Chains A and B, each alone.
Chain A
Amino acid sequence: MSQRGRSIGRTPRRTPALIFAALGDETRLILVARLSRGKPHSISALTRGSKLTRQAITKHLRVLERAKIVRSVRTGRESLFEFDPQPIEEMKTYLNLVSRQWDNTLSRLKSFVES
């Protein structure tokens, strides 16, 4: 209830759940892989070489956009999509820190039970 309440507004809170859900699909992972090479792509370019329709690709891009993994930039008449590594980096950094915290805690446990 409160979680949902806080998400309403112009800039919804970006939760890790959104990122994980966005990446939990093969088509979207392929799209992210293509975009993560750095160059922005148009929807047409992303549809070429895919079995999916332009409409389907657009839908997947919107999911990635909501998770802020990609963003669209307008150039002239066309929307280009580009990769934003920050949300994924943030999650990785967070989990790495929790992971290191456990390493320290467990090494204290080791000294404790082995002494």
Chain B
Amino acid sequence: MADRIEKRIELAAPISRVWRALTDYREFGEWFLVKLDGPFVPGQVSTGHITYPGYEHVKWEAVVQKMEPERYFSYTWHPYAADPNVDYSHETPTLVEFTLEATPTGTLLTVTETGFEKVPAGRRPDALRMNDRGWTQQIKNIESYVAKRP
């Protein structure tokens, strides 16, 4: 059983454009649906809050690890640290890594998230509930989007 997540996606945009979308904190917030308090700086904590409808109370907190221009960006965070009354700071975070490669048509982006074996089992039920609602809502968004643009 794999204990990691890996996604590869082809983007029809130049690598410089994708790099900006990933590492400019305002642009990152646009698609990740988070309002960040300030720029990403390696070694520093990034704070903010989720803007996804219904989850505005959820804080964003990550530690930026590495930024190698137009090639690699990574941070650690606590996936679905959604309960404001729980202190997640002592738990081992997962590592999220974005790797960029130029292709003839744009950019190949690989995202990995590793370290789930350290996520305490006790937290999973909440994570599942949050996620499940989020997913249901997302399906509706996609349906209405597709319906508008056949």
Name A's B-contacting residues (CB within 8 A): 2-3, 13-17, 19-20, 23, 88, 90-95, 97-106, 108-114
Contacts and interface: CB of A to CB of B under 8 A. Distances in A.
A114 B121 CA distance: 38
Main secondary structure, interface of B, reads helix
A106 B5 contact: no
A16 B7 CA distance: 21
A109 B31 contact: yes
Interface of B: 1-3, 5, 7, 9, 11-13, 17-18, 21-22, 27, 30-33, 79, 90, 109, 111, 113, 116-122, 124, 127-128, 131-132, 134-135, 138
Contacts of A98: 5, 79, 113, 116, 131
A112 B30 contact: yes
Q: Across chains A and B, which 4 residue pairs bring their CB atoms closest together, nearest first?
A: A113-B13, A108-B31, A112-B31, A17-B117
Nearest to B21: A113
Given A13-B121, A20-B3, A106-B109, 17 more contacts: A13-B120, A13-B122, A16-B118, A90-B124, A94-B119, A94-B124, A95-B2, A99-B7, A100-B131, A101-B134, A102-B113, A105-B32, A108-B33, A109-B9, A109-B109, A113-B18, A113-B21
Contact of B131 (A2, A88, A90, A97): A97
B117 A95 contact: no
Contacts, number: 98
B116 A93 contact: no
B131 A113 contact: no
A14 B18 contact: no
B7 A102 contact: yes
B74 to A, nearest CB: 15
Contacts of A2: 90
Contacts of A3: 90, 120
